[in-house]
Amino acid sequence: MTTSKGTIGILTGGGDVPGLNPAIRAVTIRAMREGYRVIGIRRGWAGLVDLVPEKGADNSACVVDLTEEVVNRAGRTGGTFLHSSRTRPSHLPDTMMPEHLRGTYTDEVNDITAQILKNIEFLGLDYLIPIGGDDTLSYGHRLYKEGVKVIAIPKTMDNDVPGTDYCIGFGTCVTRTIELAHTLRTSAGSHERFLVIEAFGRYAGFTALLPTMAGAADRCIIPEHPFDPEHLTEILSYDRNRHPSKYAVVLVSEGATMAHHDGMSFEGEEADQYGHKKLGGIGDKVATNLKNLSPKYNNGKRINVVSQRLGYLVRCGDPDALDSIVPMAFGNLALDLILSRSNGRLVSLRKGTYDNVPLDVVVGTKKVVDVAKYYNTERFRPFYHSFGQRPTFIMTSDV
């Protein structure tokens, strides 16, 4: 039953991160106390794709009414209990077309935004709150331009949504990366090896650069600057020789590339609906190069390598303190905007202050590391200067 103030829909899209459930909880509890009904849309945009807009249709796999009891139970946990997907309604393959739409959309790839708008109207949504990265939010921006009242919440471990210094999931990712890097040191030190750790980061190197600054690694390789494997071997050999236990550590972003080589490293050729192939393998390539080139910098003797991909270890499990607190604030910021009758906004955290910016920012710019300001390309490490008046996580977009 719709309450006097209206209905709010909330969804989570893209990869899971710790902090999504606390954000859902914050939105729901505040909204209900302000007199709104809250609907959870399952599996990101897929819930709105698969919904059948007919009275009496069983849409339990697409939407769920949210209550304080439901969100309180999930709010302390990781992942997203609404589930997620990388579905993109503006580029929906015919293989994913719901049965009830097959006669309407017949192309190999279809833009079914008109149907999404009908489904939003059928659900009676007065506001829509997508939580996601720039892919998920770019479609939220499309709906905003079509007249839907959208308030967006930034989420991604890579921390690369423009307009905000912090995205849900980043704190836990950095915390886990530091912890796991220190744990893996014992094996590298025991065998006097190089340690190569592949971290997340498709286009932006924040998840490798910040842990390195915090002491998790001697060097780091980021997507924003192609690297020379031989120069990296020389630098790491220098680090290893200076270390009492004869080992050295490098963090490598999954989107990093080698100079004079072809592009990123992928697990396969299949791409998702946003055009992204699944990244993976650059860590092993770096390890192979280090092993083969090491005799030149180690008196003719090869240095063996421990290579480890962190993968889901940094995105699973419960949120850390930041990813419990920030989502709570972001959810309440979203409700502040709704109560002020604002829309087309992205909630944000900039230079230690909660705020909001126009949603247009998610399609107008890219947030990547400012290499000249934060990354020493000759030494493969962060610059340790100009900390004054910088935000908590230092290396953020100035957009």
> Does 106 have pLDDT greater than 90?
yes
Q: Cβ distance 391 to 351 under 8 Å?
A: yes
Provide the pLDDT confidence category of residue 1 given band limits of 50, 70 and 90: very low
Tell me what the mean pLDDT of segment 102-117 comes to. Answer: 96
Burial bucket for residue 374 (CB in 10 Å: 0-12, 13-18, 19+): buried
- What is the structure's pLDDT at 395? 74
Measured CA to CA, the distance from residue 101 to residue 66 in angstroms comes to 27
Instruction: Give the residue, 93 or 276, on which the prediction is more confident.
Output: 93
Closest-CA residue to 206 (of 391, 367, 389, 13): 367
Domains and CATH numbers, the chain: 7-168+317-364 (3.40.50.450), 172-313+371-382 (3.40.50.460)
Measured CA to CA, the distance from residue 366 to residue 73 in angstroms comes to 36
* pLDDT tens-place string over residues 144-192: 999 999 999 999 999 999 999 999 999 999 999 999 999 999 999 999 9
Measured CA to CA, the distance from residue 120 to residue 45 in angstroms comes to 11
> Does 2 have pLDDT greater than 50?
no
Closest-CA residue to 200 (of 398, 21, 395, 16): 16
- What is the structure's pLDDT at 275? 63
Place of tokens 């971290």: 199
Residue 158 annotated to the active site? yes
Place of tokens 């829509």: 128
Tell me what the mean pLDDT of segment 220-224 comes to. Answer: 96
> Does 354 have pLDDT greater than 70?
yes
Q: What is the pTM of this model?
A: 0.93
Q: Cβ distance 50 to 62 under 8 Å?
A: yes
Catalytic residue among 50, 158, 165, 323: 158
> Does 261 have pLDDT greater than 80?
no
Q: What are the φ and ψ backbone dihedral angles of 355, each rounded to 5 degrees?
A: -160, -165
Measured CA to CA, the distance from residue 294 to residue 3 in angstroms comes to 68
Provide the pLDDT confidence category of residue 271 given band limits of 50, 70 and 90: low
* pLDDT tens-place string over residues 304-341: 999 999 999 999 999 999 999 999 999 999 999 999 99
> Does 245 have pLDDT greater than 80?
yes
- What is the structure's pLDDT at 207? 95
Q: Over the chain, what is the mean pLDDT?
A: 93
Instruction: Give the residue, 1 or 58, on which the prediction is more confident.
Output: 58
Record the tokens describing residue 352, joined without a space: 């230690």
Provide the pLDDT confidence category of residue 76 given band limits of 50, 70 and 90: confident
Measured CA to CA, the distance from residue 316 to residue 311 in angstroms comes to 9
Provide the pLDDT confidence category of residue 75 given band limits of 50, 70 and 90: confident
> Does 399 have pLDDT greater than 60?
no
Give the count of beta carbons closer than 10 Å to the beta carbon of residue 248.
25
Provide the pLDDT confidence category of residue 283 given band limits of 50, 70 and 90: very high
Record the tokens describing residue 99, joined without a space: 């049965």
Helical ranges in 86-228 per DSSP H = 113-123, 134-145, 170-191, 206-213
